[in-house]
Structure formats: C-alpha cells, structure tokens
C-alpha cells in the first residue's frame, strides 16, 4: 500500500485553505534533498507558510513538495522530500497533524500527543503551543482535526 503522508498532507492543506486559515509546514531541513534557505533554519528545522498568497507554483506531490518562495526579497525554489515534512497546521489556531517518523516506512500516522509524535518542536518552533484542558499542562499538544 502507498504511504498516506502525501494524501493527508494534501487533504489538510485543502481543509486549512478552505477554512480561511494559513497553512504552515514544519520541515526537517537535515533530510537529504531538502532545499530551503539555510539562514532561516533553526535546530535543523524550518517552518514555512505555504498559503497561496505566500508561495507560487505549489506542488504537493507524492514524493516531493515544491514551490517558489521569497526570503528577504530573494526568490527561491524550495524542494522538500515528503519524508522531511514533519507536520502541517494552521498558523493561528494550531490545528493540524504531526507525522510519525515511521509513517513513510510503516504507513502509520500519529497525531495528538506531541510527545508520541515527532513534533514537540512544532509548537515550540512555531509558537502555537496548545494546552490540553485534561492534562496537567506540562506538555504541549497538537489539536486533532
């Protein structure tokens, strides 16, 4: 069976844009084949706004996410292998999905508990920490869609 990550990424992107929100992706910039502006990479990761207003020629393919973006007034082609996409979420509400490291190998997706998913840094890097009202407040979580 094919990996679910590219399909989930496209579905969440459409849902976020159709909801009038700004889609952000968390990218592991240390994965082979990632082409992003290295001056904006922090702790091996970069958060990118991939809204239609922010990028051009967005291609959410099965193997790669590609688009053109502007950084400090300079246009750049961005290339991100699907495996490098760690999460997609709404910039303002924080709703989204974090992908498990094993997703591409075992076709599993983990969302919700940021400790179990790969993205405690989604909230920390992007500043979208959401507290689960049922928890003790000690760890951030992504809200399930």
Digit-coded pLDDT (tens) for 57-114: 999 999 999 999 999 899 999 999 999 999 999 999 999 999 987 555 544 333 333 3
Q: Is residue 135 assigned to a domain?
A: no
Q: Is residue 145 assigned to a domain?
A: no
pTM of the complete model beyond 0.85: no
Q: Is residue 14 assigned to a domain?
A: yes
> What does the pLDDT read at residue 23?
98
- How far is 20 from 138, CA to CA, in rounded Å? 31
Domains: count for the chain: 1
Task: Calculate mean pLDDT across residues 48-59.
Answer: 97
Q: Is residue 98 assigned to a domain?
A: yes
Both structure tokens of 144: 């399930």
> What CATH number is given to the structural domain containing 43?
2.30.30.220
Q: Is residue 17 assigned to a domain?
A: yes
Handedness of CA 129, 100, 29, 54 (dihedral sign): negative
Q: Domain containing 76: what range?
A: 5-126
Other beta carbons within 10 Å of 63: 11
| Long-range contacts, 58-66 (Cβ 8 Å, 24+) | 60/6, 60/9, 60/10, 60/13, 61/6, 62/2, 62/6, 63/6, 64/33, 65/9, 65/25
Q: Is residue 134 assigned to a domain?
A: no
């Amino acid at each position: 069976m094919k990996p679910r990550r590219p399909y989930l990424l496209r579905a969440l992107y459409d849902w976020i844009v159709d909801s009038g929100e700004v889609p952000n992706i968390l990218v592991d910039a240390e994965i082979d084949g990632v082409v992003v502006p290295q001056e904006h990479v922090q702790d091996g990761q970069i958060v990118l706004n991939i809204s239609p207003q922010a990028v051009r020629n967005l291609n959410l393919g099965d193997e790669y996410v590609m688009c053109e973006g502007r950084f400090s007034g300079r246009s750049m082609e961005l290339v991100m292998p699907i495996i490098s996409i760690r999460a997609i979420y709404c910039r303002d509400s924080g709703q989204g999905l974090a992908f498990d490291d094993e997703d591409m190998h075992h076709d599993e997706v983990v969302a919700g508990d940021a400790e179990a998913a790969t993205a405690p840094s989604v909230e920390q890097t992007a500043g979208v920490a959401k507290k689960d009202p049922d928890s003790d407040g000690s760890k951030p979580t992504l809200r399930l869609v």
